[in-house]
Amino acid sequence: MAICGIVVRLGQETAVHADALARLGQIPGLSLGAPTGLKVPAVLDTPSAEEDRAGLERIAALQGIEGVDLVCVHYDDDTGADALGEVGP
């Protein structure tokens, strides 16, 4: 649904950083940039509405990750229109 620019915040325990980055690398649609200290810029590109949200939750839940900050999102026209066609509450 969306392309999200995010900043992944690593925990202060440096011993687990390598494992955390390796796990991040396994998340589908996630491209990592060069870390700056404990912050890793990244882009999450997912094909469906469920997956972008799930991807963010998955990142935040990884061991060694302190949190995820969103900085931008581009709504994809096609899938966005489809999602918005659904009925509200």
User: What does the binding site for other proteins look like in residue numbers (CB under 8 A)?
Assistant: 1, 3-7, 9-12, 31, 33-43, 45, 49-50, 52-53, 56, 66-67, 69-77, 80, 83-89
Q: Answer whether 60's CB lies under 8 Å from 68's CB.
A: yes
Cβ atoms < 10 Å from Cβ of 61:
9
Distance, in Å, from the CA atom of 75 to the CA atom of 69, rounded to the nearest integer, reads 17
81: tokens are 């229109």
Nearer to other proteins, 18 or 47 (CB): 47
Nearer to other proteins, 11 or 21 (CB): 11
23 or 80: whose CB is closer to other proteins? 80
